[in-house]
Amino acid sequence: MQSVKHTLDKTPWWLVATIALFLLLGWHIIADESYQKIANTLSQGLLTTVGVTFAAFSIASIAGLFIALAGFSRHRIVREMSRFYIEIIRGVPVLVLLFYIAFVGAPEIIKLYNWSLQYPIEQGWLEKARTRDFTLLWRAIFALSISYSAFIAEVFRAGIQEVSKGQIEAAQALGLSGWQRFRLIILPQAMRKILPPLGNDFVAMIKDSALVSVLGVQDITQLGKVYSASTFQFFETYNVVAFMYLVLTLGLSLLIRGFEYYLRRHDRQK
C-alpha cells in the first residue's frame, strides 16, 4: 500500500495532464477532416517559425557572449557601454523593437551600407542596396536577435561569475594566456550554469517568434490568422496553432530537463 502511495506521490501529474492534452488535440487533428486541413495549411509556416527561432537565437547567443565579455573588460568605457546596451534593450518590449527595426532601423542600415560602400558602388563593383532588399523576414530575425542578446548576455555574465577565482588564478600561475584561460577553464565550467537558463530563453524565443506575424511573415501564427479570417473557424484554427507551439516548446523543455538530469548525474559520478 505504501509503495502505491509512494508511486502516486512521485508521479509527475503535470506530464500526465500534458500527454492527455496532446492526445486529445492529436486525435482531433487525425480524425477530423477540418482539423487535418488546418494542420496541413499551418504546417507550411512551421519551417518559418523554426528557422526564425534558430537563426535569431544563434545570432543572439554570439552577440550575447561578446556583450557579456565586454562587461568584464579592463576598460571602463567598454564595461559601461555593455551595461548601457543591456539596460536599454531589456527595457524595450520585443514588439516595439520589432516595429522599430522593421520601419526605422532597416532604412537607416541600408543608408549606412550605401554610404560606407559609396566608392565601390560608384565604380559599379557593387549594386546600390534598396530598403526592400532587407526583407521583413530578416528584419524580424534581426529584431529578435537584438532583443534576446541583452537577456542572453546576462545569462553568460552570471555563469562566468560563478567560476571560482581560485581556478582562474591557478591558470594564470600556469602561464595560460587570457584566451586559453577562457577557452579551457572558464567557458567549460560556466556552460554548466549557463545551459539551463539559455534553454529557457530558447523556449521563450519560440513563443516570441509569433510576434513576427505582425510584419506579415508567414509563420504559424500568421497563417492561422489568415486561415481563420477566411473560414471563420477560429476555435479549430487556434487549437491547431496552440498544439503546434506546444509541441515545439514542451518538446524542447523536456529535452532541456533530460540534459540537466544528465549533467547532474555526470557530476555525481565524478
pLDDT-derived band of residue 270, with 50, 70 and 90 as boundaries? low
Residue 7 falls within a domain, yes or no? no
Residue 174 falls within a domain, yes or no? yes
Q: What is the mean pLDDT of residues 192-201?
A: 86
Whether 150 has a pLDDT exceeding 90, the answer reads yes
Residue 129 to residue 121: CA distance in whole angstroms: 9
Coil vs helix vs strand at 93: coil
Amino acid at 11: T
Boundaries of domain holding 217 = 43-268
Residue 125 falls within a domain, yes or no? yes
Residue 5 falls within a domain, yes or no? no
Q: What is the mean pLDDT of residues 123-128?
A: 83
Cell (9 digits) for 81: 557601454
What are the pLDDT digits (tens) for 49-58?
999 999 999 9
Q: What is the mean pLDDT of residues 229-240?
A: 90
Cell (9 digits) for 245: 507551439
Whether 77 has a pLDDT exceeding 90, the answer reads yes
Number of domains in the chain: 1
What are the pLDDT digits (tens) for 137-149?
999 999 999 999 9
What are the pLDDT digits (tens) for 21-59?
778 878 877 888 888 899 899 988 999 999 999 999 999
DSSP labels, 195-231:
HHHHHHHHHHHHHHGGGGGGGT--SHHHHHHHHHHHH
Residue 16 falls within a domain, yes or no? no
Q: Which of 190, 202, 128 is closest to 159 using CA atoms?
A: 190
CATH of the domain at 191: 1.10.3720.10
Q: Which of 112, 138, 140, 110 is closest to 221 using CA atoms?
A: 140
Whether 152 has a pLDDT exceeding 80, the answer reads yes
Give the pLDDT score at 144: 93
Residue 155 falls within a domain, yes or no? yes
Residue 260 falls within a domain, yes or no? yes
Residue 106 falls within a domain, yes or no? yes
Q: How far is CA 235 from CA 34, 75, 196, 238, 242, in A?
A: 11, 56, 34, 6, 11
Whether 67 has a pLDDT exceeding 80, the answer reads yes
Higher pLDDT, 7 or 201: 201
pLDDT-derived band of residue 7, with 50, 70 and 90 as boundaries? low
Whether 15 has a pLDDT exceeding 90, the answer reads no
pTM for the whole structure: 0.82
